[in-house]
């Protein structure tokens, strides 16, 4: 029996429910997974405006969705570590097929050297807005049952986890014992808010800044977890260092060039700025590049871009979600503000975002 799925037809510029072929185990290391929840983010909205996205070879559509949570219904004899009933989060990026790729060859397709990798729900691989799917066990990360109602946030959190690994690696350069210090999160969407939580549990003092005023649900949530919220309307990002003092880490999660470069003016001595957003190409936006370059040099700053995440970041995200649930149960659950039917995916991705995180519940 076919399964229902959210189909994206780029050549026809069409979005609709499709009857997708029944997924079946075809190798001993695979597991059959019933999808439970799939998060919706800006990437899905861009895909559904046909800015990018590519079906697998031989198909005129692909299934949307890359922020998945599912339950194993059948595990093949070599699906290591998985049993029927286990909750799992599927990884997004798959290895490229180039045998010479030193990253994919070691399971680190998030550092793929070829740009020919598939990504579930984005390019060349079906996504997770489907009733059931089949995946090799090595791309399924087990989740404790107590995280059932928040684990749809694992994928957006992996971005911050990979960023934290990068920051650790960069800051090994410092000749003195490092304290967590002050982190500035630019953007108060779900990616920014879960990153703020990750920095807080590591002992950072966290400031979240975004354009909106301080009375939005996102700003209130930032305050509820113990971060300070600064509205860009009152204090623009370039003025934050004057207001706050030394900023050790900037985590850009707004996808806005203007906000990112303005914030970079505020980065302090020996600081690291992590960029995670992918802005659309557009006419040049004025930025204070001379000042930023002076600061990068004179203050030993590092600028790091990060995309996708390896299995280590998924495992770290699952551990951290457990810590967040212990510390901020209401705020963490409050990040998911809407659960919608698969039938309504089109209206959801085409409509204006409302609330914090929308999720398709299957």
Q: Which residues bind Zn ion (CB under 5 A)?
A: 41, 43, 67, 96, 101, 104, 112, 114
Least distance to Zn ion, CB of residue 209, Å: 21
Least distance to Zn ion, CB of residue 235, Å: 29
Structure tokens at 307: 């995309």
- Tokens 């998924």 belong to residue: 314
Beta-ladder partners of 4? 19
Which CB, 52 or 145, lies closer to Zn ion?
52
Least distance to Zn ion, CB of residue 325, Å: 21
Least distance to Zn ion, CB of residue 107, Å: 11
Which CB, 88 or 94, lies closer to Zn ion?
94
Which CB, 237 or 255, lies closer to Zn ion?
255
Q: Which stretches of the chain are DSSP H helices?
A: 42-48, 154-171, 190-201, 217-224, 240-244, 257-264, 289-298, 311-327, 329-334, 345-350
Least distance to Zn ion, CB of residue 102, Å: 8
Which CB, 238 or 358, lies closer to Zn ion?
358
Which CB, 158 or 295, lies closer to Zn ion?
158
In degrees and rounded to multiples of 5, residue 301 shows phi and psi of -85, 160
Which CB, 23 or 39, lies closer to Zn ion?
39
Distance CA 344, CA 22 (A): 21
Least distance to Zn ion, CB of residue 277, Å: 12
Distance CA 139, CA 309 (A): 12
Start-to-end CA span in the chain (Å): 17
Distance CA 263, CA 251 (A): 10
- Determine contact, residues 232/238, Cβ cutoff 8 Å: no
């Amino acid at each position: 029996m076919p399964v229902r799925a959210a189909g994206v037809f780029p050549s026809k510029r069409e979005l609709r429910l499709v009857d997708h072929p029944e997924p079946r185990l075809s190798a001993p290391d695979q597991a059959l997974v019933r999808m439970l929840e799939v998060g919706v983010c800006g990437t899905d909205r861009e895909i559904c405006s046909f800015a990018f996205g590519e079906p697998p070879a031989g198909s005129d559509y692909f299934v949307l969705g890359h922020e998945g949570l599912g339950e194993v219904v059948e595990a093949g004899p070599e699906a290591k570590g998985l049993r029927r009933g286990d909750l799992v989060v599927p990884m997004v990026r798959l290895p490229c097929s180039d045998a010479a790729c030193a990253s994919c060859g070691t399971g680190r397709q998030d550092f793929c050297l070829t740009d020919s990798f598939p990504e579930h729900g984005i390019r060349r691989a079906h996504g997770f807005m489907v009733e059931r799917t089949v995946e090799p066990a090595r791309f399924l990360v087990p989740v404790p049952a107590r995280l059932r109602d928040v684990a749809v946030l694992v994928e957006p959190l992996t971005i911050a986890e990979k960023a934290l690994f990068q920051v650790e690696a960069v800051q090994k350069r410092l000749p003195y014992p490092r304290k967590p210090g002050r982190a500035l999160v630019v953007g108060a969407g779900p990616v920014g808010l879960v990153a703020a939580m990750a920095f807080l549990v590591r002992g950072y003092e966290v400031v979240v800044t975004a354009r909106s005023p301080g009375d939005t649900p996102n700003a209130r949530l930032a305050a509820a977890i113990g971060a300070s919220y600064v509205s860009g309307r009152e204090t623009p990002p370039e003025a934050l260092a004057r207001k706050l003092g030394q900023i050790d880490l900037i985590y850009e999660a707004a996808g806005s060039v203007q906000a990112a470069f303005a914030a970079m003016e505020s980065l302090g001595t020996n600081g690291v700025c992590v960029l995670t957003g992918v802005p659309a190409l557009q006419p040049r936006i004025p930025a204070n590049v001379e000042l930023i370059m002076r600061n990068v040099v004179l203050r030993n700053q590092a600028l790091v871009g990060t995309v996708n995440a390896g299995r280590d970041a998924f495992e770290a995200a699952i551990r951290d979600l457990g810590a967040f649930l212990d510390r901020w149960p209401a705020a963490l659950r409050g990040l998911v503000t809407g659960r919608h039917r698969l039938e309504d995916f089109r209206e959801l991705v085409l409509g204006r975002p409302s609330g914090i995180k929308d999720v398709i519940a299957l």
